[in-house]
A and B are shown apart, each in its own frame.
Chain A
Amino acid sequence: MAFWQSRSETTKGYATVAPPLLYAFFLLAVPLGAVLVLSFWSQEFQTIDRTFTLANYREALSDPLYRLLLWRSVKIAGATTIVTVLLAFPIAYFVSFHVPPHKKSLWIFLITIPFWTSYLIRVFLWKVILGYGGVLNSALMGLGVIDEPMTFLLYNANSVVITLAHAFAPFAILPIFVSLEKIDRSLLEASRDLGESTAMTFLRVTLPLAAPGVIAAILIVFIPTVGDYVTPRLVGGPDGTMIANMIQVQFLQLSNAPLGSALAVLAMLTVTVVALIVSLGIGRLVRAPK
């Protein structure tokens, strides 16, 4: 009896998780496995040679161009993350601490407005703003602040960072906001009561307690931006090209899917390493004692 019961319970359990499990398997695990397998094969003109080889990795790691692109991707994503989190924190802090409770959801709603337009359109808009004859340059020239258009704004790493920082701002604001909301306000009063100024209270109480949100924000911004393809393609120019653009070139223009796969695997490994360092390193600095 118990045997049948437990068996039917198990069956029911599998039936319940089957749809998302199948979805995750065919749309996440299978493509990921395919990329991994592909990266150990090689391209022979039109066909793929299915013998195991490390040649793609050797090439990816020895060619300075790939190293440069990967390193640049990490730098641009890192800069984007720092800019985004530094700008997001004050916004989240303001909404959590200085907006009346009944207006908070309205503020959060307003912060998500950038999501209402397509990502692609937002990137194009930055092109219009930052371009040679764009909004920013015309305005500053019209005001007489500058004599000729600034060229360092568009088609380089700066424009990629600006565009990505804008696109990912809500992703950083929301987790930080949530972690600030969870802080018991009497803790801040207790710190004041024990003799600490507002600034020291922020450093000794607010910031450590908001750390989980900050770590989440760092990861949420960094991980997708390392592999971003659209923004560097549209506003990056030659100096703003990132690893994802090279992967796309390998797959679609040079027809070298195995090398593209190897680059993709290396990019994923880099992200994994950085994510681990961030979550373990920063986590340890502020983690509650055991």
Chain B
Amino acid sequence: MTGPIIKLDGVHKSYGEVDVLKGIDLDIAEGEFLTLLGPSGCGKTTLLRIIAGFEEVTDGVCLISGRDMAGVPANKRPTNMVFQSYAVFPHLTVAQNVAFGLRRSKLGKAEKAAKVEEALGMVGLGGYGARAAHALSGGQRQRVALARALILEPTVLLLDEPLSALDRKLREQMQSELRRLQRQVGITFILVTHDQEEALIMSDRIAVMFGGRIAQLAPPQELYRRPRTLDVARFIGVMNVLPGEVKEKGPAGIEVRVDGLGRARIEPEQAPSGARIGTGWAGIRPETMSVLFAGEQTDRSVAEGEVAEVTYYGDMTYYDVILDGTDRPLTISMKNLIGREVLERGARTRVSWDARSIVWFGEEAV
């Protein structure tokens, strides 16, 4: 591979006084599944529309396959988009929708029809060609929009929150199908979503955006295990945050004291944003902690506290435990194994955790 398929360099976008994007640098590799993840208003959709050619950059450069896209309109770009509303043409049939972009291709009528059928087969709509588009269900429209974009074999496929309007079951099914489809066709996918779970499931890399900037760009596992900022940590999954203090700093890591947990050694890579002597925050995921049931022994670190809330999910139980000497509850998730009791609210309990799972944030503010 010769270089990134998409290169964004210092991309700014303002609408009048409002800065929507404040300097985006992003390289996207060929065949990659990249997700732009963030809360609404973070600029992720604007960034996608800049790549698609629906918005012009205020400042900065957008290169696709090494070509500067400034002044190139959407219809001349090697990108295709799946819209949030699907934008399936209501006055056409399914086949006419899928063939919409083939008007100027040099293929014969029969070849076009075969290509359309192939594209429909790829998204699981084989035989639906003659149906009226306005009579389709949401999930089917989604697939038509996908087939319509993929049939043009774009360099990059852009997906603007394509699954947000589907119900949960269908969404999960489409997530795995999209992933399979992307591997099959090998096209670069850029997905915009506000659903962190969806981002983790589908992406090769995730760019988490806040306020017009990329806060962290990393593969899902790294993003989950080593978020760089508290914002990212709280946006991806659940992160318990406790105030603490760096006591010692050395080449092999830092020595911290955390409210309620006591002293712990933290490896350098568990403090991705760096650490200096002084106060900061310790983050620990619910599944890396355990509630110890009566008589249970462990060689991990242990603290004591009181169960403030119990939330039963069937396969899991989430406990909010207030450790002695602290005032904020920690969320701890426990698998509901056979024979394992579910604690009552107000019960005293011991809690164990693994010091290796603590992430250190050297930030001042909460």
Chain B: minimal CB distance from A167 (Å)? 32
Known: A186-B85, A190-B83. Is A195-B104 also a contact (CB below 8 A)?
Answer: yes
- With A and B bound together, what is the CA distance between A289 and B89 in angstroms? 11
A58 at the interface (CB under 8 A from B): no
Contact B89 A193 (CB under 8 A): no
Given A193-B74, A194-B80, A289-B93, verify A184-B100 contact (CB < 8 Å). Answer: no
Contact for B89 among A190, A192, A195, A286, CB less than 8 A: A190
Q: Which residues of B contact A197 (CB under 8 A)?
A: 75
Of all chain A residues, the one with the shortest Cβ separation from B90 is: A288
Assembly CA distance A195 to B75 (angstroms): 4
Interchain CA distance A184-B149 in the complex, whole Å: 18
Q: Which residues of A contact B73 (CB under 8 A)?
A: 192
> Smallest Cβ distance from B73 to chain A, in angstroms?
7
Query: Using Cβ atoms and an 8 Å threshold, which residues of chain B touch A164?
Result: none
Knowing A187-B87, A208-B91 are in contact, say whether A196-B81 is a contact too (CB < 8 A).
Answer: no
CB pair A288 B75 closer than 8 Å: no
A190-B81, A193-B52 known; A286-B75 Cβ under 8 A: no
CA distance in complex: A288, B104 (Å): 23
For window 103-133 of chain B, which residues contact chain A by CB distance below 8 Å?
A: 103-104, 130, 132-133
A200: chain B residues within 8 A (beta carbon)? 103
B101, A289: Cβ atoms closer than 8 Å:
no
Query: Digit string of A265-290 for contact with B (CB within 8 Å is 1, else 0)?
Result: 00000000000000000000011111
- Complex Cα distance, B52 from A253, in Å, reads 71
Contact yes or no, B93 A192, CB < 8 A: no
Q: A193-B74, A193-B80 are known contacts. Are A187 and B93 too (CB-CB below 8 A)?
A: no
Give the complex CA separation of A253 and B354 in angstroms. 107
> Total A-B pairs in contact (CB under 8 Å)?
75
- Given A189-B83, A193-B81, A288-B134, the answer on whether A209 and B75 have CB atoms closer than 8 Å is no
The winner among B52, B81, B87, B149 for most chain A CB atoms within 10 A is: B87
- Check A194/B152 contact, CB under 8 A, given A184-B85, A189-B83, A289-B132: yes
CA distance A250 to B184 in the complex (A): 79
- Judge whether A186 and B101 touch: CB under 8 Å: no
Distance, CA A6 to CA B85, complexed state (A):
45
Smallest Cβ-Cβ distance to A186: which chain B residue: B87
**B54 in the interface (beta carbon within 8 A):** yes
Over the window 162-189 of chain A, the binary record of Cβ atoms lying under 8 Å from chain B Cβ atoms (1 yes, 0 no) is: 0000000000000000000000101101
Interface residue B79 (Cβ < 8 Å from any Cβ of A) = yes
B91 touching A209, Cβ below 8 Å: yes
Judge whether A187 and B89 touch: CB under 8 Å.
yes
Tally of B interface residues using CB under 8 Å: 32
Interface positions of A from 178 to 227, Cβ below 8 Å from B: 184, 186-187, 189-197, 200, 204-205, 208-209
Residues of B within 8 Å of A189, CB to CB, are: 54, 74, 81, 83, 87
Cβ < 8 Å to B, chain A residues 88-114: none
Partner of A193, one of B79, B91, B96, B104: B79
B148 part of interface (Cβ distance < 8 Å): yes
How distant is A127 from chain B, measured CB to nearest CB, in Å? 44
Do residues A184 and B132 form an inter-chain contact, with CB atoms below 8 A?
no
A195 vs B84: C-alpha distance in the bound complex, in angstroms? 19
- Expressed in whole angstroms, the Cα–Cα distance for A285 and B227 within the complex equals 58
Whether the pair B87, A192 counts as a contact (CB closer than 8 A) is no
Task: Report chain B residues within 8 Å CB of A290.
Answer: 132
Q: Which A residues are CB-close (under 8 A) to B148?
A: 190, 194
Cβ of B50 < 8 Å from any Cβ of A? no
CA distance A290 to B130 in the complex (A): 9
CA distance A194 to B149 in the complex (A): 7
Question: How far, in whole Å, are A187 and B89 apart by their CA atoms in the complex?
Answer: 7
Minimum CB–CB distance for A186 against chain B, Å: 4
Q: Does B308 contact A (CB under 8 A)?
A: no
| Whole-angstrom CA separation of A14 from B148 in the bound complex | 53
Assess whether B87 is in contact with A289, with CB atoms less than 8 Å apart.
no
B134 contacts A194, C-beta separation under 8 Å: no
> Is residue B92 contacting chain A, with contact meaning CB distance below 8 A?
yes
Min CB–CB distance B26 → chain A (angstroms): 21
The CA-CA distance from A204 to B85 in the complex, in Å, is 19
Residues of chain B within 8 A of A186, CB atoms compared: 83-85, 87
Q: How far is the CB of B236 from chain A (nearest CB, A)?
A: 29
Q: How far is the CA of A290 from the CA of B84 in the complex (A)?
A: 25
In the assembled complex, the CB of B141 is this many whole angstroms from the nearest CB of chain A, namely 12
Q: How far is the CA of A229 from the CA of B73 in the complex (A)?
A: 53
Given A208-B91, A209-B90: A288 in contact with B101 (beta carbons within 8 A): no
7 tightest CB-CB pairs across the interface, nearest first? A194-B101, A190-B87, A186-B87, A192-B74, A288-B91, A289-B93, A208-B91
Q: List 22 A-B contacts (CB under 8 A).
A: A187-B87, A187-B89, A187-B90, A189-B81, A190-B145, A192-B53, A192-B54, A192-B74, A193-B53, A193-B149, A194-B80, A195-B101, A196-B75, A196-B100, A196-B101, A209-B91, A288-B91, A288-B132, A288-B133, A288-B134, A289-B130, A290-B132
Given A196-B75, A286-B91, 4 more A-B residue pairs with CB atoms under 8 Å apart are A189-B87, A190-B148, A192-B73, A194-B100
Residues in A lying within 8 Å of B, measured CB to CB: 184, 186-187, 189-197, 200, 204-205, 208-209, 286-290
